Structure 1
């Protein structure tokens, strides 16, 4: 029996009697990060990274939450468990599981570029590595974050000159926080949708330092709304909520914007390929660094990516899971995720 099983409830460690990112309620859950496709309500106890704990409380409500730092060992029924930086979003972790000399690493979602908030991805050597491949095609090759931010800021300044508000659609947990330091360079007032504000305050109240934001509400001064800079989730797209900002330009921050046709289908004025996931080269680099004997690929272009890995001598298998329903994981031609 392998140390990690692919069960109907999620990734299960029978020896330790716990699940990793279960999609149904279980007794004990170990959580890689707080996105809704990896953190589900109803389990009796949760173990996560310290920075993920306030986000789980926000999204799942009251519960039995235990947390730990990166590279710290926790024993669960004799099984050694440790969390390591995944670089995906704040608090995101890879889960290393070891028992009787067998080592598995469950990566959750990850990216290799250090965004300054989420921690630097840490390759963890193992025999078995479970990897996402959300952007597992060669066409997905990200520019450096600083270059993408430069393009976003130029777009905002052009909008200001034209008397337009700049509306940036970005996932409320992840890209919204990444955008704040950059946008602070071109505006002294960043307005945000309520969904973004709730995540922001959960993080700030937990001691994470982020630039100030202002929630858009009925009390927001009208003069603030014109020619403004706004971060909102994609659920605001096409809503009456946008009308209050006057003339506006819409920019979408998503890895799917690497394909220009997706921007046209979303009726956006600009698309910025800013992703919280690894691109094609990042996935391959991360997998090779683990030196894993067996790789399992899940949620994304699993068939194409798995086939490539096998062609280059890396043993890979496709695994079906219920991961992959957060806002960016959902392909733009499919229904949007939460918020």
Structure 2
């Protein structure tokens, strides 16, 4: 029996449907799991994604792309393949792609996390014959604390900064992490000031109807007193930049799963590290694989060899696959 999906130089290909999932080279038809640039690349002739991802793809790839959106669980017939999107919980609009051909169901998960962050949707495990999983944090040392505890830590940190006369700056990826922070810290009543990259995504999401708190764009004319007892959210690329130095005095916090490892916050010259990730931790990966009931698992970007070997040792057919995923969020996942 021909496999439902194959791995090619251009990406994950479906022969029966003649389409690619998250291709890393330009193709005629691309099915996209989410709007991060390592999964949604420019140059494809046609795009299919979730309805929630459409405005985000247009923001990143241009308004003139040929893109269609499908609803959650809606079956789209593409040639000989039945395709549907199911929540991945990674960021707004992120999806797993379920592909069924001739009674065989394969699921390409893209990036996913199993804890519901309140805005990205609850991850939905899908029963399938073959499961393609990421492994960004595929090591046993990665075990996430509940996000409620992490946000409490952030609140306490901000109060300490207020008392010390320092401005609070959190670094978080501009598309996904930033919205998670804004949504879950709005109850603090803080005034939010953001970098332009986050502001642009925020405006698109507000226009699309998402319930996010108001933010203020930081400009060269923003008075210094605006930062006092407020919260600045900026992308990691601004760390130790001229842009950031103008916000002094400040305390810098990095929001990333990599902060789980002691010493990473020091390497980024951060005053605080919060191990909050939009990817599944080790146990999340294992529980998801079990819930799919998959007979075989393909492991992509991250600690793929470790996870594949662990699955093999526990009598699950598994194979490591090299892809071009993971490049956008290597330091900010």
**Aligned to 1:163, which of 162, 165, 178?**
165
2:42 pairs with 1:41:
yes
2:84 pairs with 1:82:
yes
Structure 2 CA distance, aligned partners of 1:203 and 1:314? 40
Contact 2:162 2:228 in 1 (8 A): no
Residue 214 (structure 2) aligns with: 212
Residue 234 (structure 1) aligns with: 236
Residue 10 (structure 1) aligns with: 11
Structure 1 CA distance, aligned partners of 2:27 and 2:9? 11
2:29 pairs with 1:28:
yes
SS of the counterpart of 1:51? helix
SS of the counterpart of 1:218? coil
Residue 170 of structure 1: how far off its partner (Å): 0.2
Residue 94 (structure 1) aligns with: 96
SS of the counterpart of 1:245? coil
| Structure 2 residues not aligned, in runs of 5+ | none
Residue 64 (structure 1) aligns with: 66
| Structure 1 residues not aligned, in runs of 5+ | none
Contact 2:119 2:183 in 1 (8 A): no
Residue 117 (structure 1) aligns with: 119
- Give CA-to-partner distance per residue, 1:71-130, whole Å, 9 cap, x none: 110000131000000010000000000011111100000010001111111111111100
**Aligned to 1:129, which of 131, 148, 159?**
131
- Give CA-to-partner distance per residue, 1:140-170, whole Å, 9 cap, x none: 0000010000001100111011110111000
Contact 2:167 2:229 in 1 (8 A): yes
Contact 2:134 2:302 in 1 (8 A): yes
Structure 2 CA distance, aligned partners of 1:18 and 1:209? 34
Contact 1:170 1:176 in 2 (8 A): yes
Deviating beyond 4 angstroms after TM superposition, the runs of 4 or more aligned structure 1 residues are: none
Matched length: 331
Contact 2:33 2:110 in 1 (8 A): yes
SS of the counterpart of 1:160? helix
Deviates more, 1:198-207 or 1:219-228: 219-228
Contact 1:225 1:244 in 2 (8 A): no
- Give CA-to-partner distance per residue, 1:219-251, whole Å, 9 cap, x none: 323321345310000110110111222210000
Residue 174 (structure 1) aligns with: 176
What TM-score do you get using the length of structure 2 for normalisation?
0.97
Residue 138 (structure 1) aligns with: 140
